[in-house]
Amino acid sequence: DAKTTQPPSMDCAEGRAANLPCNHSTISGNEYVYWYRQIHSQGPQYIIHGLKNNETNEMASLIITEDRKSSTLILPHATLRDTAVYYCIVRVLGSSGDKLTFGTGTRLAVRP
Amino acid sequence: NAGVTQTPKFQVLKTGQSMTLQCAQDMNHEYMSWYRQDPGMGLRLIHYSVGAGITDQGEVPNGYNVSRSTTEDFPLRLLSAAPSQTSVYFCASSDGDQPQHFGDGTRLSIL
């Protein structure tokens, strides 16, 4: 399974954009990049996913490089409620199940 | 639509005791999984199921058993609890290529 590498921590000011990077240099052509976040010790919350095109939804934007070896999650206007651990995951789907391999994520602190 | 429901939310056990962590989903999802999360770590896959009657091992299956007799339920059993199994346990479900939905977790302490 493809592994991901994220910085252990980041911070940003409230109202500014938060840009969270992720490296996934061994990703295969049919593997998606997923982003989840975990607030306190709650269950992980799905944010966004993509294959090779940039994606945007009501929560965030996902920018994937053309070679698919890295991606960036963008929270356009971070709020205090966005303080959480953010996980970048390569998702493997197939007949042997739906497996998510979590790393240690990036702990984002949004400061007032 | 309750999503993924885990019970209990908290549990304290003594070493050697057995117990079952319950997980139920009402979304008719085929895939269900159990993860554990130790302090400061990401989630690790224990067991998973691709449908009723089918289960398989994940990354850290030792000390845990599962069964999947219905689509809705996927219980996780600890046959003889050990302190190393102190952790937060998350159940998840998904269907097709839709994102996995996670429960709120069970916080388990083994003395």
| Structure confidence by residue, pLDDT tens digits, A50-107 | 998 899 999 999 999 999 999 999 999 999 999 999 999 988 766 566 778 788 899 9
Question: Does position A37 have pLDDT exceeding 60, yes or no?
Answer: yes
Q: Are B56 and A97 an interchain contact pair (Cβ–Cβ within 8 Å)?
A: yes
- Residue pair A37/A44 in contact (Cβ under 8 Å)? The answer is yes
Closest by Cβ to A97, choosing from B31, B97, B104: B31
Q: Are B94 and A98 an interchain contact pair (Cβ–Cβ within 8 Å)?
A: yes
- Please report residues of A whose CB lies closer than 8 A to that of B58: 99
pLDDT in tens, chain B (111 residues): 679 999 999 999 999 999 999 999 999 999 999 999 998 888 999 999 999 999 999 999 999 999 999 999 999 999 999 999 999 999 999 988 788 899 999 999 999
Chain A CA closest to residue B89: A43
Size of interface A-B (CB pairs under 8 A): 62
Please tell me the least confidently modeled range out of A9-13, A25-29, A72-76, B33-37: A25-29
Q: Are B42 and A103 an interchain contact pair (Cβ–Cβ within 8 Å)?
A: yes
A75 membership: H or E segment, kind and range: strand A70-75
- How many whole angstroms separate alpha carbon A18 and alpha carbon B35? 28
Question: Does position A1 have pLDDT exceeding 70, yes or no?
Answer: no
> Residue with structure tokens 């949004």?
A110
Peptide bond connecting B8 to the previous residue in cis, omega within 30 degrees of 0: yes
- Please give the pLDDT value at position A29: 83
